[in-house]
Structure 1
Amino acid sequence: RTADDDDPYERVVVANADQLAIVTALADPEPRPRLIDRCLVAAYDGGLEPLLVLTKSDLASPDKLLELYGDLDIPFVVTSREELEQGGAADRVRAHLDGKVTAFVGHSGVGKTTLVNALVPEDRRRTTGHVNAVTGRGRHTTTSALALPLADSDGGWVVDTPGVRSFGLAHIDPTRVIHAFPDLEAGTEGCPRACSHDEQDCALDQWVADGHADPARLYSLRRLLSTRERREGD
């Protein structure tokens, strides 16, 4: 990632990973779909499989947030605070991690490190923090990325990363994001050179109109591509 969209310096979060687990609380702190979109763009650009892990479902329903990503066919796991504390969430998350190197990314206070702790041997665990009641932000308890072997796994690893407050995309090549949409990529053959896939002459509109792909998929692609042009708070 970059610190912001105008920052020319890339900050490496993880290397040689297979999967990006985007951990988001449904409340306390409130979810930020724009950050999720940005993480998805980075995952698609880097060739990582995305996984949504939604925590604190006892505080808010996941339905509205999941509706935003239903057309992307992203696997997801929904957990509650009780499940995180008692370890019940770990088994369902672990089913998506076997044999893969998975980087966990998310805001501080969303339960990311608590979940990672439940997935790794006890002697490798990290400390956890709490959400500030005034600011609604978590306290950073992870200051560097750490790769940990997944307990009871066939070669799986998890990478706990520091909590992020922003996710710049200055380093992203938007032309690579389309590769994550094979049902749409074939329709770009008729696009003008350097097409942004969100302009008047984009061939994808006709591709969808001819019934080759779901219109909702094109909407999702364009929403993700446009997130690079907008600030996270927009």
Structure 2
Amino acid sequence: MSWMQEFDDPYEEYDESSVRERPNPKANRPRSKHRPEHDDAVTGIVTGVDRGRYRLAVRVGESDEAVVTAARARELRKQSIVAGDRVDVVGDTTGETGSLARIVRIQPRTTVLRRSADDADLVERVIVANADVMLMVVASADPPPRAGMVDRFLVAAFDAGITPVLVMTKTDVADPEPFLANFAGLDIEVWRSSIDDPPSEALRERLAGHTTVAVGHSGVGKSTLVNAIVPSAHRAVGHVNTVTGRGRHTSSSTVSFKLGDGWIIDTPGVRSFGLGHVATASVLRSFPDLAAVAEDCPRGCTHLADEQYCELTAAAADGRLDVRRVDSMQRLLGTLVTARGLRHQE
């Protein structure tokens, strides 16, 4: 044997099997497909969202509630969590300063209030979950009321299955009745509120036990009304610009406040409300009497005022339906069709 044969051949070829790998028990452990059941999770209601942190109301005992801060679990990172959501929480749910719980499940929602960024956008944005009443706040003047905005609120409410309630503020500044005539045929519950004497006690009794979402144009007095209904809310209020006639965005976040056995959710003031995600059929289904007549319409009928063979128009003409009710419905559908840029969508 030559002296070179005593050593490894320096020219031999190496492959991957020649490299020694340092064992890593954690990395080589097979990933389990099973997730914890979290049987010890408690239920909380989302009352506010702020930069990836969620404020929850968690029941402690029979009557008390703790305010808990939580983050979402990794598996929920692609799901929206909004005010009104009922969630399952694990970890530190004491609510003590510096504590942080973890949201591991979102319970099924009963309703979802949505809007799109604009009318051309079909991507919906969830605003509030599990609300059953929509408090539409509109000023009689300063800023002037906009029937088109109320129409959009109504479309969104009917699409979500939420009961709309209209509150006219600043009735001591201007008579709201001419504006309310636009909605006479829709049987909407209407409340009137003056600046110095809002019907706070009566509204408090009306909304108790419900989850109510308050919506409105900027500057109409929505947060002022919420403060009157829930004195501990302390929501910031603003004023209307005397030059542009527009209100300032004083409420920048969606926040929930306890109201008896229910909640009232104050949302930021808006200047637009996109309806790109709503279908016309979902609005018509909210009016069973009109929907029953519309079943006799020809295929593809838009149910608009200019539709030649629409049964709704015919029924209004011969007295089978209230003309005001049909006119209001056709205006709502016209708002939606204009928003989508379509003549018909099922």
Q: Normalised by the size of structure 1, how large is the TM-score?
A: 0.89
Number of residue equivalences: 223
Measure, in 2, the Cα distance between the counterparts of 1:211 and 1:179: 21
- Report the 3-state secondary structure (helix = DSSP H, G, I; strand = E; otherwise coil) of the residue aligned with 2:152: helix
Q: Map 1:107-146 to 2 at 5 A.
A: 107-122=217-232, 124-146=233-255
CA contact (8 A) 2:122 2:276 kept: yes
* Paired AA for residue 137 in structure 2: V
What is the CA distance between 1:161 and its match in structure 2? 0.2
> Which structure: greater strand fraction?
2
Give unmatched runs, 5+ long, in structure 2: 1-114, 340-346
- Structure (1 or 2) with the larger CA radius of gyration: 2
In structure 2, what is the Cα distance between the partners aligned to 1:142 and 1:10? 22
Which of residues 284, 290, 311 in structure 2 aligns to 1:184? Answer: 290
Q: Displacement of 1:103 after TM fit?
A: 0.6
| 1:200 aligned partner, one-letter code | Q
Q: 1:76 deviation in Å?
A: 0.8
Partner of 2:323: 215
Percent identity between the two aligned chains: 51
Q: Deviations over 1:91-116 (max 9, x none)?
A: 23224312211110011211101111
Correspondence for 2:273: 167
- Counterpart residue number, 1:41: 155
What whole-Å deviation, never above 9, does each CA across 1:102-134 have from its counterpart, x for those lacking one?
Answer: 110011211101111122251x42221111222
Q: Distance in 2 between matches of 1:81 and 1:132?
A: 18
How far apart are the structure 1 equivalents of 2:317 and 2:180?
26
Q: Which one scores higher on RCO, CA 8 angstroms, separation ≥ 6? A: 1
Match of 2:257 among 136, 148, 152: 148
Tell me, yes or no, if the aligned pair for 1:77 and 1:92 is still in contact at 8 Å: no
Residue 224 of structure 1 corresponds to: 332
Cα distance in 2 for partners of 1:205, 1:216 equals: 11
Cα distance change on mapping 1:114 and 1:186 into 2, 3 Å: same
Q: Could you tell me whether the CA contact under 8 Å between 1:183 and 1:212 is conserved in 2?
A: no
- Tell me, yes or no, if the aligned pair for 2:280 and 2:337 is still in contact at 8 Å: no
* Greater displacement, 73-82 / 212-221: 212-221
TM-score using structure 2 length: 0.61
Instruction: Give the drift of 1:40.
Output: 0.6
Q: Is residue 2:191 matched to residue 1:73? A: no
Q: Residue 40 of structure 1 aligns to a residue in which SS? A: helix
Q: CA deviation at 1:171?
A: 0.8
- In structure 1, the gaps of 5 or more residues are none
* Aligned-residue RMSD, C-alpha: 1.7
Whole-angstrom distance in 2 between the partners of 1:222 and 1:72: 11
Q: Determine the C-alpha separation between the residues in 2 that align with 1:102 and 1:142.
A: 17
Counterparts of 1:166 and 1:48, CA distance in 2: 19
d(CA) in 1 for partners of 2:280, 2:262? 30
CA distance in structure 2 between the partners assigned to 1:92 and 1:136 by the alignment = 30
**CA distance in 2: counterparts of 1:216 and 1:28, whole angstroms:** 27
Structure 1 residue matching 2:214: 3-state secondary structure: strand
Deviation at 1:209, TM superposition (A): 4.7
